[in-house]
Structure 1
Amino acid sequence: MATAYWDRDGEAGSAAPTTSFWKAGHKPTLIAAFLYFDLAFMVWVLLGPLAPMIAKTLALTPAEKGLMVATPTLAGALLRVVNGLLVDRIGPKLSGAISQLIVIAGLFAAWMLGIDSFGGTLALGVILGFAGASFAIALPLASRWYPPEHQGKAMGLAGMGNSGTVLAALFAPGLAKLFGWNAVLGLACIPLSIVFLAYMIMAKDAPNAPAPKKLVDYFEPLKQADAWLLMAFYAVTFGGFVGLAASLPIYFTDQFGLTPVVAGYCTAGCVFAGSLVRPLGGALADRIGGVRTLMMVYVVAALALAGVAYATTLPGALGLFVLAMLALGTGNGSVFQLVPQRFAAEIGIMTGLVGMAGGIGGFYLASSLGLAKQMTGSFSSGFLIFAGLSILALATLAMVKGRWRTSWTSGARI
């Protein structure tokens, strides 16, 4: 049976399951969504690579360091729901433009005024949350152009913008060493402004957007158990990814005495692995099903994170972190292969809700690692608890997979 979709010119058409991915959809919008997401994620986790230097300047405790890097994650999580609503009300392109301007203005103000207190870092973290909330805009901006059989790949490629965390880890510590960490906040405005202009030129809203609803109707999916389950699964996969991306610079400097620059390189290697496989995770889920892919993801992530808790050498810890990030990145793409199969008509708000859950998972991991270090002198208990959450997610998925496969009717493999 043919599937309705909208081609690159906004004309209605039909696509058989064998239609080439690159012949469907709107490539300029897909590229714009990726660029927006990439630079937004770069600044979303910016406090992580800068944390060792900020903590030294402001004399922060381990718990304060953990909360500082976790605050943008929590703010981004909550704002994703707001952005999900905006996407369905005013469209993803305009929503993205507003969000980008808020982040650029906030970073510019922080650079000009300076940050000289722990409270100041938290305030900046809230502003950076708008960058993390880009998730709820970039994914529906791209995915609405593509038919169901290509949803995993489209959302995976747009979602690969989480590779921006690599840019932060690679360049922020070195620039801070040369110019001071506060200057990095101003320097970040330059690429953000360039991408904003490219976004305004290239991005185009798909013509098949659902009609606006009453505000209360946007939360109808929360009456469905499947919505909560998808949120929980993403809280583990994306929560693990972004929580580690924000926390690893602190871990490497505290645990192994690395310089902030070297810790940034180690973090970049780990984050790059997780970012690279996100679209592969979506493609793999398209081929073998998101459920089967996720089950493998949780097993590998749990084993790797449990191993990190007992790692005593830098090469051992680094290898386990790369393995964990490969699994979690694959899981991120897999969850968002499943979301549009179950909630196609509510993809905007569901992207926001699921993304919010992922951000909350990241906030928990980043803040709990700081608390574990302060209370026990070690990060181990934080990693072990999150490994346990991966096992819990695996058991839950095993219980619901049969019902999902018999009750979902999108026609795509789950």
Structure 2
Amino acid sequence: TSLPKYYPKERHGFVNGIYGAGNIGTAITAFVAPLLATTLGWQNTIRLFLVPVALFAALNFFLGDRQEKRVNKPLIGQIKSVYRNGKLWFLCLFYFITFGSFVAFTVYLPNFLVTNFHLTSIDAGLRTAGFITIATLMRPIGGWLGDKFNPFAILLFVFAGLTFSGILLSFSPTITLYSIGCLTVAFCAGVGNGTIFKLVPYYFSKQAGVVNGLVSAMGGLGGFFPPMVLSTVFNITGHYAIGFMSLAMFALASLVIVLWMFYLEKLSLETNIMESVGQSIIVTNTKGTIEKVNPAFTRVTGYKAEEVVGKNPKLLQSGKHDHTFYQKMW
């Protein structure tokens, strides 16, 4: 919640990406905890993990921002203020897929590799660690890309890549092709995770806290359902193709939504430019029929938009110029 206020808008994506790179803790815990448990026992391992938890709690208490404004509005009221905004649910869907893919593959990949490709537990664990590391490292890069370029353009590549990966994983008979599919998921999910949280303060600058919470919660749910779906599909059909194809379909649907949002963003930008410039602007179709004019046109000519839309610009002729003049002008 506090991050956007400490940094300019041009760095929100990268900063949120670094913050989200804390996902690497998942990889560390997944592979260090069993080793510690073997040596120390699970109870002592949990006690050991409480040490860094207590340390960071103390650091936050003593070094945390004392000037942080307290939100007096109840949580339900905060949710009501944003839940009708369609962009919130689009962002939830996007993060449901990107972060959900990250969590789902992290949880499911070790057993899947052992069961289907007969890898050793160590080999499967190392491959899973590689997946987690790539996805985590790509998150700040995704945020940085969102700062430098149009976030919607980045998400187009993300969901196109996830669509490709889902299809490839559905028909991967070899470990090589399956590895390519998983690495593509890691790359795209990481970039997508970083880019999506560039858009949260962009659309919800005053409600970033509650929106971050809602979007993150949907990401958590995204990691919970895919393993269940894959298991159910396998029990019914004997293979995982339909489950991975579901990933491709959801990613493809998100790709279409991103295209639509990208178009609306361009349209909004065009409208803002037309309404803010001081010069009069006329937009016509290929036949020369007026389709749109800006407020400056009305101020300069005295014609309102409803008086000229659907007509030809020749209505502005003063009668003082010949045909050659207008040919040169057009």
TM-score bracket, normalised by the shorter chain, equals 0.7 to 0.9
C-alpha distance in structure 2 between counterparts of 1:178 and 1:186, whole Å: 14
C-alpha distance in structure 2 between counterparts of 1:396 and 1:352, whole Å: 22
- Cα 1:315/1:199, change in 2 over 3 Å: farther
Question: 1:8-407 maps to which residues of 2 (within 5 A)?
Answer: 140-178=1-39, 184-204=45-65, 207=68, 209=69, 211-219=71-79, 220-407=81-268
Count of aligned pairs between the two proteins: 270
What residue identity is the alignment partner of 2:220? Answer: G
Instruction: Provide, for residues 264-292 of structure 1, a one-character-per-residue CA deviation record: whole Å limited to 9, x for no partner.
Output: 21111011101001011011011111100
Would the aligned equivalents of 1:369 and 1:382 in 2 still touch at CA under 8 Å? Answer: yes
Query: What corresponds to 2:324 in structure 1?
Result: none
Would the aligned equivalents of 1:145 and 1:206 in 2 still touch at CA under 8 Å? Answer: no
1:211, distance to aligned residue in structure 2 (A): 4.3
- Cα 1:264/1:186, change in 2 over 3 Å: farther
Would the aligned equivalents of 2:142 and 2:190 in 1 still touch at CA under 8 Å? Answer: yes
C-alpha distance in structure 1 between counterparts of 2:256 and 2:164, whole Å: 15
Would the aligned equivalents of 1:373 and 1:379 in 2 still touch at CA under 8 Å? Answer: yes
- Cα 1:257/1:202, change in 2 over 3 Å: farther
C-alpha distance in structure 2 between counterparts of 1:386 and 1:205, whole Å: 43
Would the aligned equivalents of 2:117 and 2:175 in 1 still touch at CA under 8 Å? Answer: yes
Would the aligned equivalents of 1:234 and 1:357 in 2 still touch at CA under 8 Å? Answer: yes
Query: What corresponds to 1:123 in structure 2?
Result: none
C-alpha distance in structure 2 between counterparts of 1:407 and 1:363, whole Å: 36
Would the aligned equivalents of 2:36 and 2:45 in 1 still touch at CA under 8 Å? Answer: yes
C-alpha distance in structure 2 between counterparts of 1:191 and 1:264, whole Å: 24
**Which deviates the most, 352-361 or 288-297?**
352-361
Please give the secondary structure, in 1, of the residue aligned with 2:82. Answer: helix
What residue identity is the alignment partner of 2:117? Answer: F
1:358, distance to aligned residue in structure 2 (A): 1.3
Instruction: Provide, for residues 332-356 of structure 1, a one-character-per-residue CA deviation record: whole Å limited to 9, x for no partner.
Output: 1111111111100000000011111
What residue identity is the alignment partner of 1:212? Answer: N
Report percent identity of matched pairs.
28
What residue identity is the alignment partner of 2:77? Answer: D
1:178, distance to aligned residue in structure 2 (A): 4.8
**Which deviates the most, 248-257 or 222-231?**
248-257
What residue identity is the alignment partner of 2:172? Answer: A
Please give the secondary structure, in 1, of the residue aligned with 2:224. Answer: helix
What residue identity is the alignment partner of 2:129? Answer: A
C-alpha distance in structure 1 between counterparts of 2:210 and 2:181, whole Å: 35
C-alpha distance in structure 2 between counterparts of 1:179 and 1:307, whole Å: 42
- Cα 1:179/1:255, change in 2 over 3 Å: farther
C-alpha distance in structure 1 between counterparts of 2:176 and 2:48, whole Å: 33
- Cα 1:397/1:176, change in 2 over 3 Å: same
What residue identity is the alignment partner of 1:339? Answer: V
Q: Taking CA–CA contacts closer than 8 Å with sequence separation of 6 or more, which of the two structures ends up with the larger relative contact order?
A: 1
Query: What corresponds to 1:50 in structure 2?
Result: none
Q: Structure 1: 5+ residue runs without aligned partners? A: 1-139
- Cα 1:291/1:264, change in 2 over 3 Å: same
What residue identity is the alignment partner of 1:259? Answer: T
C-alpha distance in structure 2 between counterparts of 1:180 and 1:370, whole Å: 31
Instruction: Provide, for residues 203-236 of structure 1, a one-character-per-residue CA deviation record: whole Å limited to 9, x for no partner.
Output: 32554x4742244431211111111111111111
C-alpha distance in structure 2 between counterparts of 1:297 and 1:396, whole Å: 13
Instruction: Provide, for residues 46-71 of structure 1, a one-character-per-residue CA deviation record: whole Å limited to 9, x for no partner.
Output: xxxxxxxxxxxxxxxxxxxxxxxxxx
C-alpha distance in structure 1 between counterparts of 2:142 and 2:66, whole Å: 26
1:323, distance to aligned residue in structure 2 (A): 1.5
What residue identity is the alignment partner of 1:155? Answer: N
What residue identity is the alignment partner of 1:384? Answer: M
Instruction: Provide, for residues 182-223 of structure 1, a one-character-per-residue CA deviation record: whole Å limited to 9, x for no partner.
Output: 76545433443344344444432554x474224443121111
- Cα 1:380/1:285, change in 2 over 3 Å: same
- Cα 1:312/1:327, change in 2 over 3 Å: same
Would the aligned equivalents of 1:152 and 1:336 in 2 still touch at CA under 8 Å? Answer: yes
Please give the secondary structure, in 1, of the residue aligned with 2:73. Answer: coil
Q: Structure 2: 5+ residue runs without aligned partners? A: 273-330
Would the aligned equivalents of 1:270 and 1:318 in 2 still touch at CA under 8 Å? Answer: no
**Which deviates the most, 256-265 or 289-298?**
256-265
- Cα 1:215/1:167, change in 2 over 3 Å: closer
